[in-house]
Structures are given as structure tokens and as C-alpha cells.
Amino acid sequence: MKPKQIDAVQVCKEFEDLLAPRLKLSALERAVYSHLLRHSRFEGQLRLRFSIVWLANNMGVTSRRAREAVRRLIDKGVLRLIERANIGHLVEVRVPGELRACRSAADAQPKLSDGANVEETDFLRTRGLRQAIHAREGGACFYCLRRTPGRAHCLDHVVPQAAGGSNSYRNLVSCCLDCNSRKRDLSAADFLRHLFRQGRLSAKDLSARLRTLQDLAAGKLRPKLSTTQDAASDPSKASRVAVDNSSAAPPPARVPLSPTHV
Ligand SMILES: [Zn+2]
């Protein structure tokens, strides 16, 4: 049977991100799987016949360790044993997308109405997505906790884009214009400490904010998305929104070091 063509990059990502952690694969199991994958599916073959001695030599481990790793991969369903004979094992090497452990994890990834993965979504892409970040903060500045009514708020990159910060919901917060311009090139944690020293945050608020910052990076502060929010906003509609300055327009001049998006 000719296996369907696989996307090697995608397979590697799913293996590292989903399969290996879910199945708690050891370092040796990972190495053995990757090696067998390279000689089977990456060569367009579903099955591979190999000897334990060949595998052990290539892995630089004893035959016993190689045999045990293969056995565990079979037990975990990553390899399907077709035949075991004197000339070696004949196995079917499965890619992550063919395994239930991986599929269920992928299915659990939240999706936008257009099918995009929330984790990979650019939250500056549409006005609806930007509003979802504002809504998550509940109308308060992420840093100083002051209310930010109406247009007196903007989106700030916790890790600046210049330092590699992305437009993920994990790196965007709603804040007041004052904090946005004062933060400049400080890290978010340092800026919170600066606010504390200035008496604008209490010690209790500071420690709560620092915890929230960790939760943000860990993906625990995923914004709620409604169909209307995550739908790709009609660009013509976006252009009618006076506060929308994140599309083609450059950031406002008053915040030169931290791009602002409303
Ligand atoms: Zn503020």
C-alpha cells in the first residue's frame, strides 16, 4: 500500500508538540521513532524492515536498549508490528496525525469560526480580534488597573515586536495610553515594578499582576471569541472605525517605541 504523502515539517511539529509529550516518550524513544520515521515515511514507505543490531549501532546504544525502546513504541501504538523474524522486525511507522492520542489533542485546539487555530492567530488581524483582547481586560489597563473608558486604551505588546514578540493573545494586552507610552523598552515585569515604586500599584496588586503576566504567557488568558468578534472584519467597515489605527496606518507618533493598536 502506497502511503499518502506527508508534510515532513508538520509531522515533526506534531511529534514534538503533541505526540511525544502526550505519550511521555523518553529521549531514546524519541530518537528511535525519528530514526525509523526518517527511513520509512520520509522515504515514501509505510513499512520498514530493520534489525535491532542496525538500529542499536545507529543509535549508539546496546541492542537490549534498542529492543526495549522498539517494544515500548509498539506498546504505545507509534509502531505497528507486522512481523518479527530472524531477519529483523517489520513495522508500520505511524505519523502523529494517524494516532488517536495526537488527533484528540489537535481536535481540542480551539478554532475560530474560519477554522484558524487560536494559538496561531494574529490578534491584530481584525478589529473583532483586537476588541476581544480589550474585552478580556474588562475595561481596565493591564498594567496600572485604571479604567480605560472609550478610546483611551490601546493594545500593547508585552514583549515588543522588535524583541521578537508576536501578535498572539499571549503577548497582547489592553492598556491605557499613558502606560503604553511610559513602558517604552522596559519588560512588562519591570514596568509593573516601576508602577509600584511610583505608588501607582500596591504591593498586593504588583504580585497579582506579576502572576497574571505569567498566566498570560502560559496561555491561561485566552480571550472569549464570539462569531462576530472573530469573523474577519470587513476592511471597509474597519476603515470607518475612527479608533482603528492598526491596519495600514503607522503607529501614532506619541508612542515611538511600542507599536500601538486600538
Ligand atoms: Zn495604565
Domains: count for the chain: 2
Residue 111 confidence class, pLDDT cut points 50, 70, 90: low
Q: Are residues 96 and 114 in the same domain?
A: no
**pLDDT tens-place string over residues 62-77:** 999 999 999 999 988 8
What is the CA(12)–ligand 1 centre distance, in A?
Answer: 41
pLDDT-derived band at 239, boundaries 50, 70, 90:
very low
Q: Is the per-residue pLDDT at 7 higher than 90? A: no
For the cut 80, the answer to whether the pLDDT of residue 57 exceeds it is yes
Instruction: Evaluate whether residue 256 is within a structural domain.
Output: no
Q: Is 245 part of a structural domain of the chain? A: no
Residues 58 and 168 grouped into a single domain: no
Question: How many other CB atoms are there within 10 angstroms of residue 221's CB atom?
Answer: 17
- What does pTM read for this prediction? 0.49
- Shared domain check, 79 and 121: no
Residues 147 and 30 in one domain: no
Name the residue type at position 86.
Answer: N
Give the Å distance between the CA of 212 and the centre of ligand 1: 15
Each residue's pLDDT tens digit, 137-164: 988 999 999 987 766 889 999 988 888 8
87, 103, 119 - which closes a domain? 103
Ligand 1 centre and the CA of 231: distance in Å? Answer: 29
249 belongs to a structural domain:
no
CATH code of the domain in which 52 resides: 1.10.10.10
Q: Which helix (H) or strand (E) holds 178?
A: helix 177-183
Beta bridge partners of 176: 153
Whether 252 is covered by a domain: the verdict is no
Residue 254 is assigned to a structural domain of this protein: no
Which among 80, 103, 126 is the end of a domain? 103
Q: pLDDT over 70 for what percent of the chain?
A: 77
Q: Are 119 and 219 in contact (CB under 8 A)?
A: yes
For 78, the domain range is 8-103
In a domain, 248, yes or no: no
Task: State whether 63 and 127 are in the same domain.
Answer: no
